[in-house]
Amino acid sequence: MMQRPPLRPEEYSLKETSPHLGGAAAGDKLTTTYDLVEQMQYLYVRVVKAKELPNKDITGSCDPYVEVKLGNYKGQTRHFEKKNNPEWNQVFAFSKERIQSSVVEIVVKDKDLVKDDFIGRVIFDLNEVPKRVPPDSPLAPQWYRLEDRNGHKVKGELMLAVWMGTQADEAFPEAWHSDAASVPGDGLASIRSKVYLTPKLWYLRVNVIEAQDLIPNDKTRFPEVYVKAMLGNQVLRTRVLASRTLNPMWNEDLMLVAAEPFEEHLILSVEDRVAPGKDEVIGRTIISLQHVPRRLDHRLLTSQWYNLEKHVIIDGEQKKETKFSSRIHLRICLEGGYHVLDESTHYSSDLRPTAKPLWKPSIGILELGILTAQDLLPMKTKDGRGTTDAYCVAKYGQKWVRTRTIIDSFIPKWNEQYTWEVYDPCTVITIGVFDNCHLNGGEKANGARDTRIGKVRIRLSTLETDRVYTHSYPLIVLTPGGVKKMGEVQLAVRFTCSSLLNMMHLYSQPLLPKMHYVHPLSVIQVDNLRRQATNIVSTRLGRAEPPLRKEIVEYMLDVDSHMWSMRKSKANFFRIMGVLSPLIAVAKWFDQICLWRNPLTTILIHVLFVILVLYPELILPTIFLYLFLIGVWYYRWRPRQPPHMDTRLSHAETAHPDELDEEFDTFPTSRPPDIVRMRYDRLRSVAGRIQTVVGDLATQGERLQSLLSWRDPRATALFVVFCFISAIVLYVTPFRVVVFLAGLYVLRHPRFRYRMPSVPLNFFRRLPARTDSML
């Protein structure tokens, strides 16, 4: 991969652009149907079928195919064996920018071992080709008589439709493109644009209550039993019960992820742990998810007894014995009230519950125009030179989109537009750019992986409604060698709100569905379920054609975001400091007030304090008025651009090479022992500091507890007497007077202050903590 010199910070910033969106004059149909991209003109040729083709072979048969030629570009249909009336129904698209000819030639040929025979052709003058713009109806194909090379009519007819159109044409996604003329036939499927829908995911709750009349294989001992649940690749186990009974009771929940259509069965087995690492199946039952009830709220469903079937191995084949008296008591349901998390909650694109009856109406439309990319780096080498075959993937909710692949270009132009329904403004759309490494069919078997070029996230709540945002976003990736800018991608985004009232009302609603709060899942459960959901989504999308491969899905869903990283830890620490810095600044300012550094300001604060003491009902109005004025003042400097990847915030530019190498290490580690030992020692050092801070916080809390615990009898006696005297003084003294005197004491002049710690602080620091009892 080509190296580029270090970039200035502004090179990582967002750039506003002014593309010619719509590409047509006002009033043109295109401006209302495909208005977030630049118009791209294409010549379309639809080859439908042929009839009465003459026989050319020695055998007296015809193996026809059609060749569409425009200048140096040549597209070809599939050929048929021994067929005089073939039907192809294939579309060819030629970019107008690259047309170097005034005519398009459609030639019918006969496939032959030595040299293909010419049957006939049809020629169109490009100046006479009609123009079509959706939503016009598609151009109806017509029959054309074939001609020989001299222009004389010959036997055979060809049904064709030829027109000039744009990328908004319905034929565009499935057409053969002249840009991809160098791609072999088995690689064409991997370059087409595609819209994917992820499967609907459900949480499957299996409440294992009890089992009855278990019959262990070894009758001389009581079994140590547990229940194992299997659904596809997911395996969960209950705790092992070592009770002296054949009727064990667990009352334990197992949570799994199921995807529609429910092709896999739930297999529950009761197993006996006869020895460490050795388990024997006592019985099992198989349950079809098609018949499992669906729950929309937290109300309990009726439980059910299932018979356990004993399985034995006879002659290497697994056979079922007849059902016997052992059975298991279960409560199974598909949870429709949860949202199945397959991405991080920090940038979720969908927060709706699984069950459609619980969905609220949509609040608007999100439109995305994927325009172009600039200055992409070469991602691979072909024929001795660097090349990039780029495509984009966008994900929002259950809908994923993939643009077509632009072959061998560092400035690809996609100009494709997509639309999503929006149900919550506090969601994020993710756009990723990748290099296609599957243009040749053979590479699929070699395990080639599409390379990530960069990613962009846009939070919808940061966008103004009905405004078109046209910006060029930096494509930044983090590599073991440091942060690298791979290029820029130009997007056009518009969020249209259909109901402002509904959108404002959503800001008062919980972020997740009701079940997440009424019957919450543990953090470990959510993490495990998210990992299972991601595996299911990547498997299903990997089966599509063209497939969205596992590395693409995992990158878009940020599967590895929970892994340890020294860089991220530093970034999060400085984020916390950034949040606390205003409070620290206020504390420093108040300290300067108390020290009379600016006497005029301190006197004004005294006046304000006296007013608030005399009129306490003004305190809350004053605070809220102050916040209102700050908000109005900051409106002038409100952000005009959507957020983007920030290398400074991420501490990507200042990360040490060894920290990056650790971040990209596999799990478990694959590094040499000496490097692992060094990193472990570094982690121990960092953890030691954190341990000290946590211990200090615990010490302060224990000192508070010891005020009344009589651990130090003299300190507690002093505190109790102080509280009694304070209660009497505060009872006989008006509250305003107490506040007034306390305020004057805090704001007293420096000549009345001492550099030594105050009496309350000295008393607090002398209180005992439990650190003496720590080993």
Residue-level pLDDT at 29? 42
Instruction: Mark whether 587 and 715 lie in a shared domain.
Output: yes
Q: How far apart are CA 277 and CA 410, in angstroms?
A: 56
Instruction: Mark whether 125 and 45 lie in a shared domain.
Output: yes
In a domain, 544, yes or no: yes
Q: Which pair of tokens denotes residue 247?
A: 């009727």
In a domain, 341, yes or no: no
Domain boundary among 556, 582, 610: 556
List phi, psi (to 5°) of 312.
Answer: -130, 155
Burial of 450 (0-12, 13-18, 19+ CB in 10 A): buried
Residue-level pLDDT at 442? 45
Residue-level pLDDT at 28? 42
Residue-level pLDDT at 30? 41
Q: Which residues contact 280 (CB under 8 A, 6 or more apart)?
A: 216, 217, 271, 272, 274
Helix (H) or strand (E) holding 105: strand 103-110
Domain boundary among 556, 589, 619: 556
In a domain, 220, yes or no: yes
Instruction: Mark whether 233 and 165 lie in a shared domain.
Output: no
Q: How far apart are CA 123 and CA 107, in angstroms?
A: 9
Structural domain span for residue 50: 41-190
Spatial contact of 388 and 548, defined as CB atoms under 8 Å apart: no
Spatial contact of 479 and 472, defined as CB atoms under 8 Å apart: no
Nearest CA to 722 among 764, 773, 684? Answer: 764
pLDDT below 70 — which residues of the chain?
1-10, 23-33, 57-60, 185-187, 311-325, 441-447
Q: Which amino acid is at 180?
A: A
Burial of 187 (0-12, 13-18, 19+ CB in 10 A): buried
Q: How far apart are CA 426 and CA 346, in angstroms?
A: 10
Task: Domain count for the chain, please give it.
Answer: 4
Spatial contact of 493 and 456, defined as CB atoms under 8 Å apart: no
DSSP SS3 for 505: helix
**pTM (two decimals):** 0.84
Nearest CA to 20 among 367, 490, 495? Answer: 490
Instruction: Mark whether 305 and 419 lie in a shared domain.
Output: no
| CATH at 519 | 2.60.40.150
Burial of 147 (0-12, 13-18, 19+ CB in 10 A): middle
In a domain, 494, yes or no: yes
Helix (H) or strand (E) holding 516: helix 515-518
Q: How far apart are CA 518 and CA 478, in angstroms?
A: 40
Domain boundary among 135, 157, 190: 190
Q: How far apart are CA 727 and CA 556, in angstroms?
A: 61
Rounded (10°) angle between helices 673-705 and 566-594: 30
Instruction: Mark whether 550 and 628 lie in a shared domain.
Output: no
Q: How far apart are CA 80 and CA 535, in angstroms?
A: 41
Q: How far apart are CA 608 and CA 626, in angstroms?
A: 14
Instruction: Mark whether 67 and 152 lie in a shared domain.
Output: yes
Instruction: Mark whether 68 and 212 lie in a shared domain.
Output: no
Start-end of H helices in 242-317: none
CB atoms within 10 A of CB 592: 13
Instruction: Mark whether 138 and 178 lie in a shared domain.
Output: yes
Q: Which pair of tokens denotes residue 286?
A: 């198989």
Instruction: Mark whether 741 and 609 lie in a shared domain.
Output: yes
DSSP one-letter code for 709: T
Instruction: Mark whether 664 and 640 lie in a shared domain.
Output: yes
In a domain, 74, yes or no: yes
DSSP character string of 326-361: -EEEEEEEEE-SS----S-GGG-S----SSGGGPPP
In a domain, 356, yes or no: no
In a domain, 22, yes or no: no
Q: How far apart are CA 365 and CA 422, in angstroms?
A: 5
Instruction: Mark whether 397 and 529 lie in a shared domain.
Output: yes
DSSP one-letter code for 241: B
DSSP SS3 for 387: strand
In a domain, 323, yes or no: yes
Digit-coded pLDDT (tens) for 444-474: 445 678 899 999 999 999 999 999 999 999 9
Number of residues assigned to the chain: 775
Instruction: Mark whether 728 and 601 lie in a shared domain.
Output: yes
